[in-house]
């Protein structure tokens, strides 16, 4: 038993609902509490040193406390933490985002991924003067009413398809299409002429990992263009993680609006919504689509994002090709282990992300992910954790590699997977 974490959790429950500040952080019997982190490690309250593959749910592409970022933030701390008046750094950061994302002419900085998608959807509605949006089953775009419909991540994990307290009048305007099923979205668009936008995770990273099938995104892009419907790529996970130009660069597709967050700043609270000039200029005060936030563009998070993008741009080829190689090798090794144990399974991986599903069918959408064996995944997770490897505690999340992982770490992690898969088998 982790005595200190248990005690801290019991204490937290008295003042924090369920003891955690975001649902996926809870797992049975109680989550470990964190003392500190560095590089690829997290130390818990009971002094265990864990290899981290949760990595801030994808944010920490460069690892914990990356020196370039800590140095930039430390400098900023000396000259101020919040001004609520514009800074040159905000313009520099926006220029860097525009340079890396050819689909983006203008950017507004916000604080969270959910705030970015909320703004993107409001922009699409304001621009088109239409009401409904189309999202895909299992895609998670944050915890607001328009998108918390058949969503992945913690809402799928906790079996919440539409949240209580959410306005049905809002979620009714959200139409849900099956991921990787082009005919489904085609039919929905044929039957509805009030579509303000289509929002999609170009790589679905909230039902485990689900890759878009060949040409699916291209078809969606063509269809939305033909019907004058803004296409929103939610790159909150994939932005700066799949490449410096996100998944859109990787697949060669230009959406009309893009949201990004996590790897944008490598661990600070900042997100961005960007897109074509004519859409972005709808934002207030110049336009009539209202969006505002006290902490938007705050100097600390902006300084982290600047350092993060500069580092990524400097390392570009070396970093992404290394991670791709590591991830492919690691995924293949986990695949071989599960095969050796005769456990029915699927491995999905790309770039620096992977996940295993305990299923004998390929996992290509919400349904096939939900039908994978969650109990086996739970066993995998808890045994990995006992062996000092921390992956996200749900099969609907993803194993994220970072630049801080070494091949020695991956070998140690494979040893832990061997033990964990044996436990799954038994």
Ligand X SMILES: Cc1ncc(COP(=O)(O)O)c(C=O)c1O
Q: Is 112 in the site for ligand X (CB under 6 A)?
A: yes
User: Binding ligand X by CB under 6 A: which of 140, 182, 268, 377?
Assistant: 140
Q: Are strands 346-350 and 353-357 parallel, antiparallel or unpaired?
A: antiparallel
Q: Which is nearer to ligand X, 209 or 289 (CB)?
A: 209
Q: Which of residues 142-161 bind ligand X (CB under 6 A)?
A: 142, 153
Q: Are strands 231-235 and 174-177 parallel, antiparallel or unpaired?
A: unpaired
Q: Is 397 in the site for ligand X (CB under 6 A)?
A: no
Q: How far is C-alpha 400 from the geometric centre of its chain's CA atoms?
A: 10
Residue 124 to residue 113: CA distance in whole angstroms? 16
User: Binding ligand X by CB under 6 A: which of 90, 145, 234, 256?
Assistant: 234
Q: Which of 132, 135, 262, 376 is catalytic?
A: 262
Q: Which of residues 75-104 bind ligand X (CB under 6 A)?
A: none
For 132, the 3-state DSSP assignment is strand
Residue 143 to residue 170: CA distance in whole angstroms? 13
- Which residue is nearest to ligand X, using beta carbons? 113
Name the strand (E) or helix (H) holding 73: helix 67-77
Write down the least CB distance from residue 111 to ligand X, Å.
8
Backbone torsions φ then ψ of 253, nearest 5 degrees = -130, 140
Q: Which is nearer to ligand X, 143 or 307 (CB)?
A: 143
Q: Is 195 in the site for ligand X (CB under 6 A)?
A: no
Write down the least CB distance from residue 349 to ligand X, Å.
17
Q: Which of residues 275-304 bind ligand X (CB under 6 A)?
A: none
Q: Which is nearer to ligand X, 117 or 351 (CB)?
A: 117
User: Binding ligand X by CB under 6 A: which of 50, 261, 312, 347?
Assistant: 261
Q: Which of 234, 256, 373, 403 is catalytic?
A: 234
* Catalytic residue flag (residue 234): yes
How distant, in Å, are the alpha carbons of 171, 212, 243, 327 from that of 321? 40, 20, 10, 10
Write down the least CB distance from residue 238 to ligand X, Å.
8
User: Which one of 108-116, 217-225, 370-378, 417-425 is the stretch in contact with ligand X (CB under 6 A)?
Assistant: 108-116
Write down the least CB distance from residue 177 to ligand X, Å.
16
For 155, the 3-state DSSP assignment is helix
Residue 35 to residue 64: CA distance in whole angstroms? 13
DSSP symbol at 243: B
- Around 69, how many Cα atoms within 13 Å sit in the side-chain half-sphere? 24
Q: Tokens for 11?
A: 């204490």
Write down the least CB distance from residue 168 to ligand X, Å.
22
Residue 299 to residue 76: CA distance in whole angstroms? 7
Q: Is 173 in the site for ligand X (CB under 6 A)?
A: no
Residue 5 to residue 46: CA distance in whole angstroms? 7
User: Which one of 156-164, 232-240, 359-367, 388-396 is the stretch in contact with ligand X (CB under 6 A)?
Assistant: 232-240
User: Binding ligand X by CB under 6 A: which of 176, 237, 300, 420?
Assistant: 237
Q: Considering CB under 6 A, how many residues would be counted as binding ligand X?
A: 16
The secondary structure of 252-274 as a DSSP string is: T---SEEEE-HHHHTSSS-EEEE
Q: Is 230 in the site for ligand X (CB under 6 A)?
A: no
For 288, the 3-state DSSP assignment is coil
Q: Which is nearer to ligand X, 44 or 201 (CB)?
A: 201
Write down the least CB distance from residue 227 to ligand X, Å.
24
Q: Which of 30, 41, 57, 140 is catalytic?
A: 140
Write down the least CB distance from residue 144 to ligand X, Å.
9
User: Binding ligand X by CB under 6 A: which of 61, 210, 236, 354?
Assistant: 236
Identify the residue whose tokens are 């008046």: 85
Q: Tokens for 188?
A: 């929905």
Q: Is 201 in the site for ligand X (CB under 6 A)?
A: yes
Write down the least CB distance from residue 259 to ligand X, Å.
7
Residue 18 to residue 26: CA distance in whole angstroms? 8
Residue 224 to residue 210: CA distance in whole angstroms? 22
Q: Which is nearer to ligand X, 140 or 366 (CB)?
A: 140
Q: Is 57 in the site for ligand X (CB under 6 A)?
A: yes
* Catalytic residue flag (residue 145): no
Which among 276, 318, 311, 262 is positioned nearest to 96, based on CA atoms? 311
Identify the residue whose tokens are 């996940």: 355
* Catalytic residue flag (residue 140): yes
Positive or negative: CA dihedral 180, 182, 187, 192? positive
**Which residues form the catalytic set?**
140, 234, 262
Q: Which residues bind to ligand X, rule: CB under 6 A? A: 57, 112-114, 117, 140-142, 153, 201, 205-206, 234, 236-237, 261
């Amino acid at each position: 038993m982790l005595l200190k974490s248990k005690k801290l959790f019991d204490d937290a429950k008295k003042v924090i609902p369920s003891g955690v500040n975001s649902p996926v952080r809870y797992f049975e019997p109680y989550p470990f509490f964190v003392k500190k982190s560095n590089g690829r490690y997290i130390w818990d309250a009971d002094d265990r040193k864990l290899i981290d593959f949760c990595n801030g749910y994808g944010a920490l592409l460069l690892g914990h406390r990356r020196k370039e970022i800590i140095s930039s933030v430390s400098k900023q701390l000396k000259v101020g933490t919040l001004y609520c008046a514009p800074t040159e750094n905000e313009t520099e950061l926006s220029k860097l985002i525009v340079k890396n994302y050819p689909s983006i002419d203008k950017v507004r900085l916000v604080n969270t991924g959910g705030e970015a998608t909320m703004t993107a959807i409001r922009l699409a509605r304001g621009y088109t003067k239409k009401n409904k949006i189309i999202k895909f089953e299992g895609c998670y775009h944050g915890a607001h009413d328009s998108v918390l419909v058949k969503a992945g991540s913690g809402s799928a994990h906790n079996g919440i398809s539409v949240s209580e307290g959410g306005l049905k009048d809002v979620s009714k305007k959200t139409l849900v299409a099956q991921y990787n099923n082009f005919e489904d979205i085609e039919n929905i668009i044929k039957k509805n002429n009030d579509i303000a936008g289509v929002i999609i995770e170009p790589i679905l990273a909230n039902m485990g990992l689900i890759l878009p099938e060949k040409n699916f995104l291209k078809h969606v892009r063509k269809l939305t263009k033909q019907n004058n419907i803004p296409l929103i790529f939610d790159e909150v996970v994939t932005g700066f993680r799949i490449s410096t130009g996100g998944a859109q660069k990787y697949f060669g597709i230009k959406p009309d609006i893009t949201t990004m967050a996590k790897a944008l700043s490598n661990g600070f609270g900042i997100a961005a919504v960007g897109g074509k000039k004519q859409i972005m200029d709808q934002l207030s005060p110049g336009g009539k689509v209202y969006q505002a936030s006290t902490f938007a563009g705050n100097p600390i998070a902006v300084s982290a994002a600047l350092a993060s993008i500069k580092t990524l741009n400097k390392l570009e080829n070396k970093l992404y090709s290394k991670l791709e190689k590591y991830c492919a090798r690691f995924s293949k090794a986990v695949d071989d282990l599960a095969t050796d144990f005769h456990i029915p399974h699927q491995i999905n991986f790309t770039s620096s992300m992977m996940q295993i599903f305990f299923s004998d069918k390929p996992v290509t959408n919400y349904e096939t992910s939900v039908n994978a064996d969650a109990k086996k995944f739970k066993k995998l997770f808890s045994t990995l954790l006992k062996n000092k490897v921390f992956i996200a505690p749900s099969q609907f999340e993803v194993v994220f590699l970072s630049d801080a992982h070494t091949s020695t770490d991956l070998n140690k992690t494979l040893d832990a997977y061997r033990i964990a898969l044996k436990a799954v088998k038994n």
